[in-house]
A = this chain, B = another copy of it.
């Protein structure tokens, strides 16, 4: 396709770091952010790959983020770990906390990491996949901005409130999902807008609380939860566990804090990890086989496991040594290098 541009894998990180440092992110933050962008772009996760550099730049220009914040890890003798991102992007804080979270989970069987005072723009699956790569199961949740109306409502109260889960599989890619509890992810609506496409029915309300398929009207109005009342309830759970539980902002507060600025939302994040060795009664093989039987039964009937397309993209892009992004995005990014 002529509207795509190829970027060699190594250049994805290098381009990202250069742009991030150009606008004021320090070395550590630039590296942590670039690694996340690389991980997503490698899997053709366009909405959370290099496209998000635009948001990282905007966030710095908004003037509230610290590009040099040193996250503060606060350990305890319990199963709960805290890391204060000190107004930096979340990723370096999570990087610093991750080894301790793994250690704590292996010691306690279950553990939780609360990330506070962070700006957040990233997909959650790379973080839960770091835990499943360590043999743990994991759930991650974040609020965002109050763009999403509760089921039966008229205006935004809830964030897009993604929930991600990863389950380790022996010698295979993990079982992973990462979805917004809104019908659409905010990033998807932005991509629809950039592409000049209409949204499907049932994912958004306009400013007056009426259904709309126009991406801009949706961005100005409110999105709707997936799965009606159930998705709405789940979104409220995400809001509570990744907000008031951990002494951090709900999406309504995060939206107010941003005061109309378009950069990454500022709020908290929770990650919960489980060590199967503490739960499975010393039978890892039998229980792995149980899980594999379920996956096989799903695939045999023609259904797909979540993330399969992503894993296929990863294999393809690693093999060919480059990723492809829209040329219009490539041009936007190169303009940021000057």
Where the two chains meet, the residues of A that have a C-beta atom closer than 8 Å to any C-beta of B are 76, 78-80, 82, 107-112, 114, 116, 137, 139, 146, 149-155, 157-158, 163, 165, 167, 175, 177, 179, 181, 226-234, 236-237, 239-241, 243-247, 249-250, 252-253, 272, 274, 276, 278-281, 283, 286-288, 290-291, 293-294, 297-298, 301-306
Q: A244-B291, A293-B250 are in contact. Are A157 and B79 (CB under 8 A)?
A: no
Q: How far is the CB of A269 from chain B (nearest CB, A)?
A: 12
Residues of B within 8 A of A281 (CB): 82, 116, 247
Whether the pair A279, B230 counts as a contact (CB closer than 8 A) is no
Q: Is the CB of B306 within 8 A of A229?
A: yes
Q: Which of B236, B247, B250, B252 contacts A279 (CB 8 A)?
A: B247
Min distance, Cβ A82 to any Cβ of chain B, angstroms: 8
Given A226-B228, A233-B306, output 20 extra A-B contacts at Cβ < 8 Å.
Answer: A80-B109, A82-B281, A110-B112, A110-B272, A112-B274, A146-B297, A151-B303, A157-B298, A157-B301, A158-B294, A167-B237, A179-B229, A226-B230, A240-B291, A243-B291, A244-B291, A244-B294, A246-B280, A247-B280, A247-B287
Instruction: Determine the residue in chain B with the shortest Cβ distance to A139.
Output: B237
A sample of 7 cross-chain residue pairs with beta-carbon separation below 8 angstroms, ordered by A number, consists of: A109-B112, A149-B301, A165-B233, A177-B237, A229-B306, A240-B291, A250-B290
